[in-house]
């Protein structure tokens, strides 16, 4: 997730709290339950808009990753009425709300702003109310953590408190940033909660020069969900080797949601998403 425009702003039930300071590894994800393919609502121009569910259905996808909305609108998904609209749209279109996301943290950084800390706690409550298990916390733009040790320290301390609430609510906080796998693991270990994991974006990490196939295997069970992205072309035509991503996921024991966050749309937004979704489905089938 990178907030570049209005179109480019990320589960497991937890069995209780763990002792602070030592990461309790999440239970192994059993292979064989398959993959679900979704799209980020901001990618299809429907940020925090229930119309995203019908669009996802028309594209042939399993669901949508829904953003809580911007600060200019006071994070509208916090309103119960909008939550009900989303849940009804999901039922009507027979698609799912795969997870929620907080792109607002790119402009109102969690590492610095007091309201961001409160918003994350609100986001956990929204997840619980909507039956979602993953809340993506974005760390791009003003929230970038690269070369910011002080900022990381603040994030760790704030996450310790948020993780307690997330554990009780059965929610995973997925960190998506431009840090390396090792730097993400350092944060996870310092927080010491299974409720804090990595939301892994293959396109962003590849663009930052990381070996994404090694990183996926290294992070293993600490990855909660994925963003599919290729910053060079349509999927299968660019620089991301998605078959190798699948092999790395197999080694990591991952099955679950993969949400498309498109950046290259040569066929138009909906046609490109349809093409990318069909391509991914061949590699990440629902019954794998």
Per-residue pLDDT of the chain (288 residues; tens, 9 = 90+): 654 333 333 333 333 333 334 455 454 445 668 999 999 999 999 999 999 999 999 999 999 999 999 999 999 999 999 999 999 999 999 999 999 999 999 999 999 999 999 999 999 999 999 999 999 999 999 999 999 999 999 999 999 999 999 999 999 999 999 999 999 999 999 999 999 999 999 999 999 999 999 999 999 999 999 999 999 999 999 999 999 999 999 999 999 999 999 889 999 999 999 999 999 999 999 998
Range of the domain at 195: 36-281
Q: Is 136 left (phi over 0), alpha (psi -120 to 50) or beta?
A: beta
Who contacts 263 (Cβ-Cβ below 8 Å, separation ≥6)?
8, 203, 229, 230, 231
pLDDT at residue number 56: 98
CA dist 284 and 288 (Å) reads 7
For residue 194, give the nearest of 221, 215, 176 by alpha carbon. 221
Reading the block at residue 252, the tokens are: 């990591």
pLDDT at residue number 21: 43
Identify the CATH number of the domain in which residue 44 sits. Answer: 3.20.20.150
The number of angstroms, rounded, from the C-alpha of 274 to the middle of its chain's C-alpha atoms is 20
pLDDT at residue number 23: 54
Please count the structural domains in the chain.
Answer: 1
CA dist 275 and 191 (Å) reads 39
Task: Report in angstroms the alpha-carbon separations of 85 from 52, 54, 80, 197, 272.
Answer: 11, 12, 9, 29, 27
Residue 18 lies in a domain: no
Residue 25 lies in a domain: no
Residue 8 lies in a domain: no
Task: Report in angstroms the alpha-carbon separations of 175 from 45, 180, 226.
Answer: 23, 12, 11
**What letters, b where the CB count within 10 A reaches 16 and e where it falls short, cover 71-96?**
eeeebbbbeeebbebbbebbeebebb
Residue 27 lies in a domain: no
For residue 163, give the nearest of 19, 67, 29 by alpha carbon. 19
Q: Is 145 left (phi over 0), alpha (psi -120 to 50) or beta?
A: alpha
Residue 4 lies in a domain: no
Reading the block at residue 81, the tokens are: 């009425």
Residue 105 lies in a domain: yes
pLDDT at residue number 240: 98
Helical ranges in the chain per DSSP H:
51-59, 80-93, 114-130, 149-169, 181-191, 202-207, 212-219, 242-252, 269-283
For residue 174, give the nearest of 132, 224, 209 by alpha carbon. 224
The structure's pTM equals: 0.90
Who contacts 229 (Cβ-Cβ below 8 Å, separation ≥6)?
201, 202, 203, 204, 240, 260, 261, 262, 263
Residue 141 lies in a domain: yes
Who contacts 188 (Cβ-Cβ below 8 Å, separation ≥6)?
23, 196, 197, 198, 222
CA dist 93 and 110 (Å) reads 34
Q: Looking up tokens 């290294």, which residue turns up?
A: 218
21 CB-contact burial (10 Å; exposed 0-12 / middle 13-18 / buried 19+): exposed
């Amino acid at each position: 997730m990178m907030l570049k425009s209005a179109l480019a702003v990320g589960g497991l039930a937890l069995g209780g709290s763990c002792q602070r300071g030592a990461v309790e590894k999440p239970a192994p994800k059993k292979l064989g339950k398959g993959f679900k393919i979704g799209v980020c609502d901001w990618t299809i121009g429907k940020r925090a808009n229930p119309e995203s569910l019908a669009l996802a259905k028309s594209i042939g996808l399993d669901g949508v990753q829904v953003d809580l909305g911007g600060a200019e609108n006071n994070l509208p998904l916090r309103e119960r009425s909008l939550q009900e609209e989303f849940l009804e749209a999901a039922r009507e279109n027979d698609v799912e709300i795969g997870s929620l996301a907080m792109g607002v943290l790119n402009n109102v950084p969690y590492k610095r702003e007091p309201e961001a800390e409160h918003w994350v706690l609100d986001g956990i409550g929204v997840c619980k109310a909507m039956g979602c298990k993953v809340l993506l916390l974005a760390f791009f733009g003003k929230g970038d953590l690269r070369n910011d040790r002080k900022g990381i320290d603040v994030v760790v301390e704030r996450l310790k408190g948020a993780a307690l609430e997330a554990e009780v609510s059965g929610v995973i906080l997925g960190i998506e940033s431009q840090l390396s796998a090792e730097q993400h693991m350092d944060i996870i270990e310092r927080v010491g909660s299974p409720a804090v994991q990595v939301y892994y974006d293959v396109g962003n990490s590849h663009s930052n020069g990381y070996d994404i196939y090694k990183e996926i295997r290294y992070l293993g069970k600490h990855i909660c969900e994925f963003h599919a992205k290729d910053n060079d072309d349509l999927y299968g035509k660019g620089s991301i080797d998605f078959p190798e991503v699948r092999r790395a996921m197999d080694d990591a024991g991952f099955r679950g949601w993969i949400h498309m966050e498109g950046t290259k749309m040569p066929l138009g937004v909906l046609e490109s998403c349809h093409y990318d979704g069909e391509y991914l489905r061949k590699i990440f089938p629902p019954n794998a």
